[in-house]
A and B are shown apart, each in its own frame.
Chain A
């Protein structure tokens, strides 16, 4: 598409882009310029207008009149899906894959099969394998996509978008592609992004992780409250400087909770075995925040569900405050004071088509009187203080949950379990898809929960997060806990190197300690 000497040429230029929704101004006079051969990071809290900007680019929303856009020297109409025909490719947070279909079919969706008139299974499989090999993806092309981990699914979506054209796309928009990826796959993805960049693609990279900006970004644009706050070369900014731009004030360092010396073991798991997990044992004391991490496939993202009873446990014992927990019985787990928030917020931890209030009260409904009458006014009264306590915005119990940002949805989930007075909170990726500001308030909430003498166990692929909040981190490999890092040993480098120690040989890009 563009030769290397043309790098720095402006591929996409957007001018005075505004978007007004009935309730708020989502974008206010935003300019954006993407040059070929650059990775342009887009930063901002949820609600800052990032998503709106991308949705306008992709043609889901029409902008307010008065904006102009020039793509490759030609003027284009924003808010129309035809932009995809001009070499603009999108990876959205919702990957748009079909879990029931196999990898071959998913790759062919949106592109085409290798055969034109006759789809031969063997030819297609060979073509797909070749494509996957090109991007270093070790996947069985004939297996249904649902068998792949979220990380692998993200990679399939990216491969599909990139493989669509013979040449590299002029603009590639990546909307938080690493939200569910472990470090070594993030490295692989970055390798791919750099390759595309070097071929002249302008990459618009949306993320919440500041470290990634410094890893891969050439320039960075920060949005706040729908306005463009700054566009700077990455070399000219510091991490603290970026945070200040994002939240509009100086960052207050998150103070990790002081582990209260307690001897009461609240949660004990002993040799728990389940899918992807061969041997998991843990003792969690009151007041502790324990992290679990590992590579995708190591079982770190499955084990909490198995302990809770969301996924089948084939053997092993789980005890909560001395009481045994039956496998596969979430209702009994809740009754014993255990709460679980799965990573898949949309499908598993909330009911998106319900209101905030209904989601919050579901585990224990506020019924009154001998008839167990469930009245709307009483429910509202019951819910409101919890929304205030966890700072949910908006704090209207009758608002549909799907209208909230990821961070606020997660706060509703936390409020739900605090309301039933859960003693042990099991959280998978508690800040997945949550912006920097909301992350800090979720961390604060977790620290407060622990300081009340409850226990928190969280699984996360974000080493920074684990360092920031955990008193102890368990690292899993091949279904078993292989090492435990205590508070004074915690560092991003240490977590990452422990995580991938055995798999360095397998992964092609192995540099691990250059990211802290």
Chain B
């Protein structure tokens, strides 16, 4: 702990911040239900909960983006009112949003200066801003070039800009909303080192995450939210992963996945030097070659936006291949329409499930037969056979543990986890030869995640070839036999899961190519 009352930025500390009895209602939802939460100088306090538990809402209230329906906020014991981000900035509260609040087309210094009074209004004083940024960089170990354009920076560097932005504005209390979601493992380590230093220097930090090991690794206290309510606040040193998972979900959760050894079979999916471009003609996939075999899960890791989505869509026939070829069970399927890809034995769980994977106004039963509704046994001629459809729906709901009031319920009334289970059920019911699963557990609660993971492993045992695309490295590590790392639309390396390390994967995620021989393409 710092001995005096000033932070390295030269500004006063926030000794304590308390939120008491915060209530926030949205139409039909009680997002925060009398939430009490507090943080002190020198402490990292984790806020843990499933998607929709109310973490982000609580923090948006603290930052002035939402107004609470009830409750109060105290700063150093004094009640304060926060009506807008400008207010919270004035009180010394800074926020690092999950989606960075940076203007790509501006430089780092311009992003920092944005919204601040200049020392020589109306002219900008970017030279002074630059000097101050350099000071802060030095004091906090946040290396960043003030003159660089944000669009040129790596994600980890962009996050440093966000932190500098907050510090520059005198933030003594910093809220970090899922700050590790987009980082490589090394970048996470760097970030944690910085955050620990900041806490030591007297900052108060709130760390929002749903990754249990990060919370155990970094924080001093942890508060768990579920359905808008506080389930409890604990000293991090006194809890285990299992404790936290139980608090989050309300029941015991098996966190470890058992991936039994399996004998891989024949090559089911093969990409040979596939290249694809976007609307503007810029390549999004370059020379991608890979193979997925029977009884194998191949994980595709990488920081968001490095071509994973396009990889999935290219295979599903939704994105045109400009060069190269794709084979399904030895048969060339390059640029076939999606319907023929399905026919050929491909199943696809899309990344944007509410957008691409299902129709939210349709019922559960209807969604379960979306692709197959024109085939027997669901239809006879041009008519749908509703008896068969209903029977099928019932079976799926039971088998895949889909929690729904009835099979007639519109899909939009289901939780994210249950929607994903439905999509998985539908795709697996088709008895596919190859499954592309893109972000299958993103935004899905731990309980459903556990279920989906086990289903994927069971299908593996039954011979399915799965390409698992995920930005969650833990998920990739838990399920994959081999791991492909993508960066800038290229494959950086293909490694055996049991013989690699997080460090090796992290380097590749940051764009470091593994030596060519190990790419194993031309095998």
Q: Are the chains A and B members of one assembly?
A: no
